A and B are shown apart, each in its own frame.
Chain A
Amino acid sequence: MDSFDVVVIGSGPGGYVSAIRCAQLGLKTAIIEKYNTMGGTCLNVGCIPSKALLDSSHHFEEATKNFSNHGINIDGKISLDFEKMISRKNDVVSQTTKGIDYLMNKNDIKVYNGLGSFVDKNKVKITSSDNEIVIESKNIIIATGSKPASLPFVKIDKERIISSTEALKLKEIPKHLIIIGGGVIGLELGLSL
């Protein structure tokens, strides 16, 4: 059975940074991630992709609303290739999550792909589609993050009733987007779209 000083469950910014710091301090470290890319919500479906879309949509807004004030004239139409905007966002995400692979490798952190669950207080089972292993560790850090919260009477169909995850990869621009919740996520995505 593989044995570590520290095992981190979850590779978001909390988990992967913790793993790097453990490795810097000389601890034999592993990290477990159930998705096929590292980085958790923040890198994959949170902070980073939303910033990419905010940036692109800001350019679009500047072009359509403010360019003439600057003496920049556009003869013809400004049109939006939303798919391309989303695909740039995907590239940004992919470069960023690959950056984490690099950091794990550089810091000699063992990466496990699969769903981590406790066997006992020093053992974690890692379940992936093709196998199941158990590793042991002196210390275990739970960094499994969060999921979008819902309302009891709202069924998220991920198509038209969506959470932030889907809002980052829509196929079309909504005509009228109703946002429940005026916090940071709702406002950022509302502005982008």
Chain B
Amino acid sequence: MDSFDVVVIGSGPGGYVSAIRCAQLGMKTAIIEKYSTMGGTCLNVGCIPSKALLDSSHHYEEATKNFSNHGINIEGEISLDFGKMISRKNEVVSQTTKGIDFLMNKNNITVFNGFGSFVDKNKVKISSQSSEEIIESKNIIIATGSKPAILPFAEVDKDRIITSTEALKLKEIPKHLIIIGGGVIGLELGQVYKRLGSEVSILEYMDRIIPTMDSGLSKELTKVFKKQKFKIHTSHKVTSVERIGDNIKVVAQNKNDESVEFNGDYCLVSIGRSAYTQGLNLDQLGIETNNRGQIEVNEHLQTKHSNIYAIGDVIKGAMLAHKAEEEGVLVAEIISGQKPHIDYNLIPGVVYTWPEVASVGKTEDYLKENNIEYKAGQFPMRALGRSRASSDLDGFVKILADKQTDEIIGVHMIGARCADLISEAVVAMEYRASAEDIARISHAHPTYSEAVKEAALAATEDRALHI
């Protein structure tokens, strides 16, 4: 029987990063993946392919809407080869997953293809179509991730009633795409198809889109999306989804308790994701899952068996690749005897629509609800020379700082390149910077990052320079 120091079940960003860190620390490491390619949801049917389609569709939108302003004239028609767009996306995915094969090989990590399930607390059975074997390991890390959550009354037929997985490989552009759930996944995929010509209706249960983020961001993104002709219906509780031929009928209850009917040719169910532990045989070990299907862990991410850990989407917390990665590293270092730490308050959240939305720390809504005294500084992107040069005028940066100490407690931004800009805020907050600290740091001109400095100036002493 093959024997390891660590076996990781699942090769998403949590699992494969954890395996690499274990190998770096000198542990004999194996990883188990049930699909034929490495990388899990993120690389195969999540973060990466959606970014590829967002990029292609952004180019298409620029060409059809904004090129003439730049003096770029197109004689004849701009047409879309959607099959090719999807195939470019597939190539991006394939290069990326092959990159993981390379990394596993380089770090001497044994890769098992098959479905992993527990035999006992030190043994895992790997079942594939052709064989079944059992390996043993001192430590086992569960990194089996999540699956799209479903509505009990909406049967996903993967044809016209779809999840994000299918939305990334459609054969045609929907005429009218109805999206249930105005969170990050629904909005990103919605924007892809809006740009490609679909009518897009978003039905959101809460009273605003991206409801977990700062409400200022929801408001600005709603404004921009309405300009882009999205139909946004908040406070709508979907009660039925029905397919009749090629028509999908969605019924929802609005806030006045009226029944509203929506008819489209595709319906994307993007109400979130659920932890995936099916088939792991957790019962055998007495490892329980909570009412959300998540594995309960202690602060060292250990299950009730101290040698079995769980990381990423399968435990509590934000379902984000970079959160899983941090946890993967943390567990590897704990196993090797180090004392790592994660500040979950400082895991940034990003929506890759255009404008991009990014956030770290406490929202203004949270500070108000909890009567925490704070100062706010906000700076609009349109006041930046860089924004005007690229005609990307929407959005703002908002910095929230402690009223007494000026320590930054939340940064919320929407605008061009905010997905990258948020890193500055994370670094600052990890070092417990004050708003004045950022205000006194040189920011290159002309860049979008100047909005961060200006918002910091506004937060610290209400002394922004360019507004």
Contacts and interface: CB of A to CB of B under 8 A. Distances in A.
A76 B74 contact: yes
Given A48-B389, A92-B389, A71 B71 contact: no
B78 A73 contact: yes
B216 interface: no
Interface string B377-405: 00000010110111100000000000000
B73 A81 contact: yes
Contacts of A59: 62, 66-67, 70, 72
Nearest to B87: A71
B59 interface: yes
Given A70-B85, A74-B78, A48 B62 contact: no
Contact of A52 (B74, B78, B389): B389
A84 B71 contact: yes
A146 interface: no
A166 interface: no
Given A24-B463, A48-B389, A55-B390, A88 B71 contact: yes
B127 interface: no
B292 interface: no
A162 interface: no
Interface string A81-106: 11111111000100110010001000
Contacts of A17: 465
Contacts of B391: 55
Given A70-B56, A75-B77, A51 B88 contact: no
Contacts of A103: 465-467
B445 A47 contact: yes
A106 to B, nearest CB: 9
A78 interface: yes
Interface in B41-92: 55-56, 59-60, 62-63, 66-88
B83 to A, nearest CB: 7
Contacts of B67: 59, 63
Contacts of B75: 76-79
A43 B385 CA distance: 8
Interface of A: 13, 17, 20-21, 24, 42-43, 47-48, 51-52, 54-56, 59-60, 62-63, 66-88, 92, 95-96, 99, 103
Interface of B: 55-56, 59-60, 62-63, 66-88, 383, 385-386, 388-391, 445-446, 463, 465-467
Given A43-B385, A47-B385, A99-B466, 8 more contacts: A47-B446, A51-B390, A70-B56, A72-B63, A72-B79, A73-B81, A74-B76, A103-B465
